[in-house]
Chains A and B, each alone.
Chain A
């Protein structure tokens, strides 16, 4: 983001009427969450290719020519089962909650009880026939998902992501809650169709550590250096050419300088809820501390919505490439996401309904996995259509199992208009 873009962003978001950010003084005093008056899409990339058939298999059926039999026969390996149908039936009975819909019965992994509850309340749409990447290459298929373009080739690697495009189009921002912004966040570069900018991205890898150290009145080395660098960057903001390779570093300083203090002040008034603290340490902690942090970041971002002007948030949970020992590898991850007192449940518990009802989750990975288990109790990459989840507690779905073919492009359109 360059200075011009930043000022544009500030103007658009109503953050600034001059070089000062008036909202900082006016609104930071309030400890309440700001009102949220638009849907906020939360894109959760499950990088590696999650096996949704493991999460949501069809019902076991004893008839050898049935889908329910063939499924469990082919996938016995990923469940660490023998080749005896009785073991498949036992697994189905014991470890899955059986969901009753107007489609053939399927199950959801028992420990994902929050997801089950959401499904039963009509807040989940399962898209089972999404076409996206045409290869089985992680990089390529992730790029397709992040660009929202099933036709994208690898040469499009520097193009804008669909989140960045959406933010620009709606004159809002995409808040990146991951360590570094994912490609989905990249915004179109008006001067270069093959390139991208960070014009509408707010990087928030740790919302409670976003402030640049400021000088105090003390005459110590801390203040000497803080004054030096603050002055230096103020001058570089003017001096540095827009197309310089160093510009993005100067702009990062500028964003942190402008946003760090008000966000820190706001969050100082809003303690991290106990349920979210528990995700980070203790016996309820998530397996993925990184995802615990992102979940808390999302909570904080919502608390700062009047500052962030967010229409979208970008999150990820990595490590779904389950070629071996799939059961041990991915079940704890599914539970991290969808279990009671785990990430999403704790987030919703911590948020007022008026806030949480605005969240629209799009959850999925880059490709499907093979129907048949491999020889290592895992599954390999598949080129077949994949499954994605949309969760929206603010709206009841009429079609919880949507098996109509849909491209990732069109699925995104249903969310972004």
Chain B
């Protein structure tokens, strides 16, 4: 493994934050090409939702600072990433997770969900949202915004994680998710406002249990769980420079801040003006904290915490590491910190937009191993050709089997499966490998009479762009959509395998009539003149995706499934890499 420098903390002594340090350099217009756009989409939007090839090229033709605002924004609907002709207008009211879940569970005449599936979104008995299904739908269905969902998921499952298993109700979680995104989408609200709002939510209170904290008889009858994690997880403040003060003053007084909170059962409403709130000044982070209730105090404290030296050092590094880069070097960290420190007010969207067009993001040294969820959603966003196919591909255990449960983070408040864990897990590789082989119908099935369903890849693969479905071009397109590396890793070997599957529906060894079961010298064989000629013929073959002959059309769709099966089990599917 390449050397990695610790990412999220305690580098304060190693690399000092300096306002004079250079931040990020924006890549040139020349370097902002379709490969760069794909890189952004792979990292920040589960592969890009349902963006067309033409749109990718169009965005690449724009200046990077213009294009990035089109690609990465917090609009509920982003027609560039996910065009749709659906009607989202009032009274359908699908503006957020809560209302979307209620709509998808309803009997509204325009509800697209089959009646039998509606109960997945809402518990009809108690009216609680099922956030996992609703979130998946909003990520896969046409017309939403995969970047918004990606960041919403990261905030609620990693950075500011809460957990259904800890007792957080569906409505508390859905409201938490929605409020975070609404706040992030508002340019008038700095990032610390979002964090304060999240800290003061019912979801967080139930998760950590501080809604039972009271200040009575001169004593804080409190637990210190969130008092600690508010500083550490929300802001990256560990108290390293003064641990005794941090432990014995800041954390204990933050527990006092979190007194006098009331929640009613599974309701998402929270009352910050309950009884037994601590009255008076509190010394936290070496400043006086004042307020009549926990909500006021958290807002003041968050304004202070976001500018704390440790937060300035750690929080931006944590954001970039968790979202985009497993290989942060000291130089990169200096730039990240400089950029964050200079930004006033702190705005997550602006930060991510600027990063996504930076030379740091697009450098060859950046890589991020993919979690099970990331990998499956990249696949699903290509496999699901229209909304009616969502339930065909979305299997309940698709992610669970690989240790990834939505809104039930594996490490509880410390977040879900990490990229490092995913990359070291043989179970995850095995699962994908066997999905691509033993269970390949997932990719290759082309019809289901019971569902009255037929796969039609011509909906998604442009004829013109692929020279009327020429094998070589179709293979390249599939690789680009799934791997998005500008064909950097689509070498002779990969191309030969994919083209064999597409052109003849056979594996490469069969096509080359090689008798041995495995041949590690295949690369040499492919360089031989006879092989080259065979491969040339394969690449020029045309798939009958638009054939009037039903058999040919079916065969073409099946072979595309074979190619996707193969590509999705290559090593490149498990990593998002820089340029």
User: Residues on A close to B: CB < 8 A?
Assistant: 135-140, 153-158, 179-181, 189, 192, 194-198, 203-206, 209-210, 212-213, 221-222, 224-232, 234-240, 243, 245-246, 248-250, 252-253, 255-256, 318-319, 321, 323-325, 374-376, 378, 380-381, 383
Q: Mark B179-216, 1 if CB is under 8 A from A, else 0.
A: 00000000000000000000000000000111011100
Q: List 27 A-B contacts (CB under 8 A).
A: A139-B414, A154-B10, A157-B4, A180-B422, A180-B424, A181-B424, A181-B425, A192-B1, A195-B4, A196-B1, A203-B427, A206-B427, A212-B430, A213-B437, A225-B566, A226-B437, A227-B510, A229-B436, A231-B518, A232-B493, A235-B519, A246-B489, A255-B426, A318-B412, A376-B221, A378-B223, A380-B223
B6 touches A158 (CB 8 A): yes
Apart from the given pairs A231-B507, A231-B509, A378-B209, 17 other A-B contacts in the complex at a CB distance below 8 Å = A135-B238, A140-B238, A158-B5, A209-B427, A213-B438, A221-B565, A225-B437, A228-B497, A236-B493, A236-B571, A238-B521, A239-B493, A245-B2, A318-B412, A324-B212, A375-B213, A380-B228
Q: Counting CB contacts under 8 A, is B249 at the interface? A: no
- Residues of chain A lying within 8 A (CB to CB) of residue B487: none
Whether the pair A237, B224 counts as a contact (CB closer than 8 A) is: no
Residues 331-360 of chain B: 1 if any A CB is under 8 Å from the residue's CB, otherwise 0? Answer: 000000000000000000000000000000
In the complex, the answer to whether A249 meets B423 with C-beta atoms within 8 Å is yes
Question: Which one of B14, B224, B444, B566 lies within 8 Å of A228 (CB-CB)?
Answer: B566
A151 to chain B, nearest CB (A): 14
**Are A225 and B429 CB-contacts (below 8 A) given A158-B4, A376-B223?**
no
Measured CB to CB, the nearest residue on chain A to B366 is: A245
Pair A224/B507 contact, Cβ less than 8 Å: yes
Q: Is B569 an interface residue (CB 8 A)?
A: yes
Task: Indicate whether A224 sits within 8 Å of B571 (C-beta atoms), given known contacts A155-B10, A248-B423, A324-B225.
Answer: no
Q: Of A195, A231, A383, which contacts B247 at CB under 8 A?
A: A383
Cα(A194)–Cα(B225), bound, Å: 32
Chain B 225-262 interface mask (CB, 8 Å, partner A; 1/0): 10010001000001000010001000000000000000
**Contacts A179-B421, A246-B571: A221 and B562 contacting too (C-beta < 8 A)?**
yes
Q: Please name the residue on chain A nearest to B212 by beta carbon.
A: A376
Residues in A whose Cβ lies below 8 Å from that of B572: 246
- B497/A197 in contact, CB under 8 A: no
B426 close to A203 (CB less than 8 A):
yes
Q: How far is the CA of A155 from the CA of B11 in the complex (A)?
A: 7
**A181 shortest CB reach to chain B, Å:** 5
Q: Is the CB of A222 within 8 A of B437?
A: yes
A219 to chain B, nearest CB (A): 9
Contact B424 A248 (CB under 8 A): yes
**A387 to B177 Cα, complex, angstroms:** 39
A381 pairs with B228, CB closer than 8 A: yes
Q: Are B506 and A224 closer than 8 Å at their CB atoms?
A: yes
Q: Which of A137, A210, A374 contacts B222 (CB 8 A)?
A: A374
Tell whether B575 is near chain A: CB-to-CB under 8 Å. yes
Nearest to B226 among chain A residues (CB) is: A323
Query: Which of A138, A231, A252, A256 is the one whose CB lies under 8 Å from B508?
Result: A231
B-side contacts of A197, CB under 8 Å: 1
Q: Does B433 belong to the interface (CB within 8 Å)?
A: yes
B505 adjacent to chain A (CB < 8 Å): yes
CA distance A324 to B211 in the complex (A): 11
Q: Which residues of B contact A157 (CB under 8 A)?
A: 4, 6-7
Is B522 among interface residues, defined by CB-CB distance under 8 A? yes
Q: Identify the closest chain A residue to B327 (Cβ).
A: A245
10 tightest Cβ-Cβ pairs between the two chains A and B: A375-B221, A249-B571, A324-B209, A323-B225, A376-B223, A180-B421, A246-B571, A213-B438, A203-B426, A228-B507
| Chain B neighbourhood of A240, CB < 8 A | 571
Instruction: Tell me whether A222 and B221 are in contact (CB under 8 A).
Output: no
B419 to chain A, nearest CB (A): 11
- B residues less than 8 Å from A209 (CB atoms): 427, 430
- Cross-chain contact A249 with B11 (CB below 8 angstroms): no
Are A225 and B565 in contact (CB-based, < 8 A)? Answer: yes
Q: A229-B436, A240-B571 are in contact. Are A210 and B507 (CB under 8 A)?
A: no
Minimum C-beta distance from A142 to chain B (A): 10
Cβ of B561: which chain A residues have Cβ within 8 Å of it?
A: 221
Is B110's CB within 8 Å of the partner chain A? no
Whether B403 is near chain A, meaning CB under 8 Å from some CB there, is yes
Partner of A156, one of B6, B11, B423, B444: B6
Question: How many Å lie between the Cα of A246 and that of B506 in the bound state?
Answer: 26
Of A137, A195, A248, A249, which contacts B3 at CB under 8 A? A195
Q: Which of B490-544 contact A (CB under 8 A)?
A: 493-494, 497, 500-501, 505-510, 517-523
Q: Which of B14, B222, B521 contacts A375 (CB 8 A)?
A: B222
B436 touches A225 (CB 8 A): yes
Assess the B569–A229 pair: CB atoms within 8 A: yes
Q: How close is B449's CB to chain A, nearest CB, in angstroms?
A: 19
Minimal beta-carbon separation of A185 from chain B (angstroms): 8
A212 and B566 in contact, given A180-B403, A227-B507, A380-B223 (Cβ under 8 angstroms): no
Q: Are A253 and B520 in contact (CB under 8 A)?
A: no
Given the known interface contacts A227-B517, A234-B518, the answer about A380 and B6 at a Cβ–Cβ threshold of 8 Å is: no
The answer to whether residues A212 and B434 also contact, given A135-B238, A227-B509, A234-B519 and a CB cut-off of 8 A, is: yes
Residues of A within 8 A of B147 (CB): none
Residue of A nearest to B441 (CB): A221
> Smallest distance from the beta carbon of A79 to chain B beta carbons, Å?
16
- By beta carbon, the residue of chain B nearest A205 is B427
A residues in contact with B566, CB < 8 Å: 225, 228-229, 232
- Indicate which residue in A155, A213, A250, A323 contacts B433 across the interface (CB closer than 8 Å): A213
Partner of A245, one of B11, B367, B494, B510: B367
Q: Return chain B residues, CB-CB under 8 Å to A140.
A: 238
Q: How far is the CA of A203 from the CA of B213 in the complex (A)?
A: 43
With A212-B433, A221-B440, A323-B223: A252-B412 Cβ-Cβ less than 8 Å: no
Query: Beyond A179-B425, A192-B3, is A380–B225 a contact (Cβ under 8 Å)?
Result: yes
A323/B224 in contact, CB under 8 A = yes
- Whether the pair A380, B425 counts as a contact (CB closer than 8 A) is no
Partner of A180, one of B213, B221, B425, B444: B425
Chain B residues within an 8 Å CB radius of A374: 221-224
A245 contacts B577, C-beta separation under 8 Å: yes
Can you name the residue of chain A whose Cβ is closest to the Cβ of B208? A323
Known contacts A137-B232, A155-B6, A203-B427; is A248 also within 8 Å of B1 by CB? yes
- B410 beta carbon closer than 8 Å to chain A: yes
A-contacting residues, B120-152, CB 8 Å = none
Decide: B509 and A235 in contact? CB cutoff 8 A: no
A204 to B427, CA, bound (A): 8
Contact call B243/A256, Cβ cutoff below 8 A: no
Question: Which residues on the A side are within 8 Å of B575 (C-beta)?
Answer: 245-246, 249
Min CB distance, B282 to chain A, in Å? 17
Q: A154-B10, A246-B575 are in contact. Are A381 and B224 (CB under 8 A)?
A: yes
- The distance from the CB of A186 to the nearest CB of chain B, in whole angstroms, is 9
- Contacting B430 at CB < 8 Å: which of A224, A230, A248, A256? A256
Cα A213 to Cα B438 in complex, Å, equals 6
A140 CA / B6 CA spacing, docked (Å): 12
Q: Which of A198, A235, A319, A378 contacts B523 (CB 8 A)?
A: A235
Tell me whether A376 and B213 are in contact (CB under 8 A). yes
Bound-state Cα–Cα, A122 to B328, Å: 50
Residues of the A chain whose Cβ atoms lie less than 8 Å from the Cβ of B2: 192, 195, 243, 245
Q: Is the CB of A179 within 8 A of B10?
A: no
Contact B433 A375 (CB under 8 A): no
B414 engages A138 (CB within 8 Å):
yes
A179-B214 Cα distance, complex, nearest whole Å: 39
| Complex partner residue of B437 from A180, A195, A229, A235, CB under 8 angstroms | A229
- Which residues from B are CB-within-8-Å of A213? 433-434, 437-438
The answer on a CB contact under 8 Å between B225 and A321 is yes
Smallest beta-carbon distance B242→chain A, Å: 12
B427-A228 in contact (CB<8A) = no
